[in-house]
Amino acid sequence: MPLARRARRDEQGMSIVMVSLLMVAMLIIAAIALDGGQAYADHRQMQNAADAAALAGARALERVRFRGAPGTDVDAQARGQATDNGASSSPGHYSCMVMDKYQQTIAACTDTLTWTALTNLGRAVGVSVQAGKDRTSAFGGVTGVGSVSVNSTAAASIQPLTGGDSPFMVCGNAAFSDTERPPLLVSDFTQPTGWQVNPNAIGDIYDLHGPQVAGCGSGSDSFKGLADGPFTLPAWISDAPGVRAGPTRSLVADENGCADTNLDNCLLLVPICSNGRGDGRSVQLYCVAWGTFLVHQITANKHTGQFLGGYDATGGPTGTGDPTAATANVVKLIR
């Protein structure tokens, strides 16, 4: 065979080899690109699943601690949110832990005998969740990886609310309040403000707005309980006589939260105050905590409220103290 013809055939053979190698390389690059994009989407999905599960678990924990719900609700709510968002419920992909305020694990959410024990339940303020799944690699035969495990974690905790909005403020100091009802505040020098919301006041009805509400030692006989937020507590809040413009939007996480200017038979967050000051015309009350009240309008210029204690709020700034049954709380993601 002539040398020139043999050289051409060799070159053709080399070209086929090179093209084949190039196609394999392109397939590998395509597989990496597709799998990388899918991995990002799957990780985002699992992060959303973990976030939703942690929030649901922490909200259930709040109901267990302060409203008598069964401890099994914590894992049930967290697991349900994880699987509803595409995560697997297998032990290798799903876990749920109850935490204290230092983010230390107390017990698995399913271990209700441990974390609901008296020595542990008061420390339980948060839930951490792992949510994940297996996914099939788009080009597993090319890359040699048939499936990939995708897992994400999140944690949420119950935190005492410090900021919100309200048209009213109420005196909670027994020295200046109606002594026939339990005071809304009791002395507690372990707290930064020196006061704690009184759980024994839950269920009683208090005057929030009207001509005879307590001025909390301000020395004013014209104080009517009116305020104008938003506020971050503790703080001195000035009296705001007159009618507020625009709707009052409650932060209470309930469909019955007050949402307009008709403040009747709806839930409202109200600052609870310990002291007052004034010169007879301008009045300020020192308010230390938020309480949830079921508000009723008696007349155009008078509102009362049944104190309901610590309903959840939809959001707002929070403090570093411990959540209680009598304070308004917020469930937030912490990691």
* Cis status, amide bond into 182, omega within 30 of 0: no
- The C-alpha angle with vertex 187 and arms to 185 and 193, in degrees rounded to 5, equals 85
Instruction: Give residue for tokens 């609901």.
Output: 116
What pLDDT score was predicted for residue 319?
85
Residues in the chain: 335
Q: What is the pLDDT of residue 41?
A: 87
What does the alpha-carbon distance between residue 75 and residue 78 come to, in Å, rounded to a whole number?
5
pLDDT of 279 reads 77
* pLDDT for residue 14: 61
pLDDT in the model for residue 248:
63
Query: pLDDT tens string for the chain (335 positions)?
Result: 565 555 555 555 566 656 566 665 565 555 555 555 667 788 999 999 999 999 999 999 999 998 889 999 999 999 999 999 999 999 999 999 999 999 999 999 999 999 999 999 999 999 999 999 997 766 555 555 567 789 999 999 999 999 988 999 999 999 987 668 999 999 998 888 899 999 999 999 999 999 889 999 998 888 899 998 888 999 999 988 765 555 666 678 778 888 877 889 999 999 999 999 987 678 999 999 999 999 999 998 899 999 998 788 888 889 888 888 888 899 999 98
d(CA 296, CA 263): 7
pTM of the shown model:
0.77
Domain ranges of the chain: 3-157, 163-333
Q: How many CA atoms lie within 13 A of 251 on its CB side?
A: 27
